[in-house]
A and B are shown apart, each in its own frame.
Chain A
Amino acid sequence: MNREALKKAVLEALAAVAPELDPDTLRPNEPLREQLDIDSFDFLQFIIGLDQNLSLSIPETDYGRLTTLDALVDYLGEKLGGRPGGK
């Protein structure tokens, strides 16, 4: 999966828990939880959604790295073993 596809997957999983999200206003390198109104439970549901959509299992110990949209895309790129495509 390239970066664009991964980004789309992340935004889809986010929109499932925070449907008020406007992807155009999201700043990719700033913490998601400061830009979106999501609580800890929403965040867990978001990760579960990502796991399901991408058929993977993100360990809880990695959650601390998943703070920004860019960080998520980087992480998923590594995790899925593909080379991150062009930005």
Chain B
Amino acid sequence: MIEKPRSGWRVAPNMPAYEEARASFSWAAAEHELAGLPGDKGLNIAHEAVDRHCLEGRGGRQALRWLGRHGERKVITYAELSARTNRFAQLLAGLGIRPGERVFSLLGRIPELYIAALGTLKHRAVFCPLFSAFGPEPIRARMKIGDARVLVTTSALYRKKVAALRDALPDLKHVLLVEGGGEPGTEDLQALLARASDAYEIGATSPEDMALLHFTSGTTGTPKGAIHVHQAVLSHHVTGALALDFHPGDIFWCTADPGWVTGTSYGIISPLTHGLTCVVDEADFDAERWYRILQDERVTVWYTAPTAVRMLMKAGDELPRRFDLGALRLIASVGEPLNPEAVLWGQRALGLPIHDNWWQTETGGIMVANYASMDIKPGSMGRPLPGVVAAIVRRLEDGSVEQVDEPDREGELALRPGWPSMFRGYLHEEERYRKCFAKGWYLTGDLARRDKDGYFWFVGRADDVIKSMGHLIGPFEVESALLEHPAVAEAGVIGRPEPVIGELVKAFVSLKEGFTPGEALRRELLAHARTRLGAVVAPKELEFVPTLPRTRSGKIMRRLLKARELGLPEGDTSTLEAPA
């Protein structure tokens, strides 16, 4: 246990005592901290994140400090961000984009991504970020499901991943390229922005209007587009204060890419609603570069991920000692459980423990967390946010659930609906949305236990979804891509535990007649999958097997594949297909 001081803080935490805060918190009272659109026109995320600061005299503050891959540095103030997002909103208006229509981005971490996100929200269109490392197939599937009307991307990404998909996406009306470039069927973003006015008045926005679409993966079927509304900004703001302990003047660095929900909720929205300065690094992970950024930018609050922490640990304890990390006040982590060694390593090597927290695409914001003032049990995800009710439940055969009150019992982590950033549906998938709820609980799909002190501990997934580098990967999406190869008869994909990235995507493949397993074919199949899916989704390992175990109804038994991989007992195999 890491005990926290009860007094003598350099900066007093926003929540000095968890229990008291929990007892007195109400979302209705917290809502008074938001500005609301002038003239009682509702609630809009972009107004809370950008324009309110200009109206309240903070326009000169730094909103974004962008660090380019090759040493470039650009600072954007709130006033500049307001003007540039106004231009983007005007641009959408000029293209005839209506509120509610979907604007996608496929971009690395460059300023245009932040401008497109907030400009889209101003126009009351729906912003949907795609991870730029996705291959063409995940991009096609998500744009199709999301009814993409506009895509903002770069020439290089467009040529490599999108150009060949245009025929499959007839509803995609506008592709805006950051550097222009004159690809057929595209428009020049900068030229359009230059022509647009930098004044824009946000129209009336209902808190329940759709604002963001974030894709996540299930065990079966296509990716799911989780719908979030403008009301979510209340969760973003409150969790920034309580879980990340944001104070005025903080320099905040969220290392997550906005292609994933963390990079949008906390890489863009939450810190901006607090008027903070956000550090944005375009480059990929590099231990020395990261320590240098923490030092040179005087980062005070740092939100990162377990995979990154474990890679920093691999780089050794000596490296951080060469840097002055004295500005840091709080380190938090999300994406997958942070192992106890990593929490303690933070304290030893960085001088601060790492605060793990838990949430998911559907929850829109942090739900369970370790807080600045609360003692840490290393390895635990912490305790539910004030205003959030969490429990462990057991699924019953009739489809309902019962609450498990006894401590230390494993079950599914469930949340009582009602927090502002809860997803409002999966786009076009009412049935899948309904299945997430039972007996008044939202069922998260994560297995956990709660100890006698109310701390929650992650156990694993309740389904076959793979958690790799903090991202959820749907095995079905990977299997489908493998099955497109002419040599593949069957494919089963699992997550194999791996110490740095949590789980590694591993594929088991059986071949059609006439094909022989071998190193050349193994590499060919890996290349095939990587080209379609991108490195972040494709398998890292591939093993040939004569056949895959199936249930009598024909479903591939991924659980059994995983048990065999781990050398565990194979459990009840009575539903297995009888040998031919």
Contacts and interface: CB of A to CB of B under 8 A. Distances in A.
A63 B133 contact: no
Contacts of B531: 20
B535 A38 contact: yes
B316 A37 contact: no
A60 B286 CA distance: 9
A61 B284 contact: no
22 contacts: A19-B523, A19-B526, A19-B530, A20-B528, A20-B530, A34-B69, A37-B133, A38-B535, A39-B469, A40-B311, A41-B469, A41-B501, A41-B504, A42-B535, A44-B500, A60-B287, A60-B315, A61-B315, A61-B319, A63-B286, A64-B287, A64-B289
Contact of B527 (A20, A38, A42, A63): A20
Nearest to A18: B530
A15 interface: yes
Interface string A12-56: 000100111000000000010110011111101100000000000
Query: What bracket does the count of chain A residues touching chain B fall in?
Result: 10 to 19
A33 B500 CA distance: 20
Determine chain A's interface SS by DSSP, over half rule.
helix
A42 B527 CA distance: 13
A16 to B, nearest CB: 8
Given A19-B524, A60-B287, A64-B288, 8 more contacts: A20-B528, A20-B530, A37-B534, A39-B133, A60-B314, A61-B287, A63-B315, A64-B289
B421 interface: no
Contacts of A45: 540
Interface of B: 69, 133, 135, 284-289, 307, 311, 314-316, 319, 469, 500-501, 504, 523-524, 526-528, 530-531, 534-536, 540
B287 A18 contact: no
A41 B523 CA distance: 17
A40 B471 CA distance: 14
A63 B526 CA distance: 25
A31 B286 CA distance: 13
A65 to B, nearest CB: 10
A33 B316 contact: no
Contacts of B307: 40-41
Nearest to B536: A39
Contacts of A60: 287, 314-316, 319
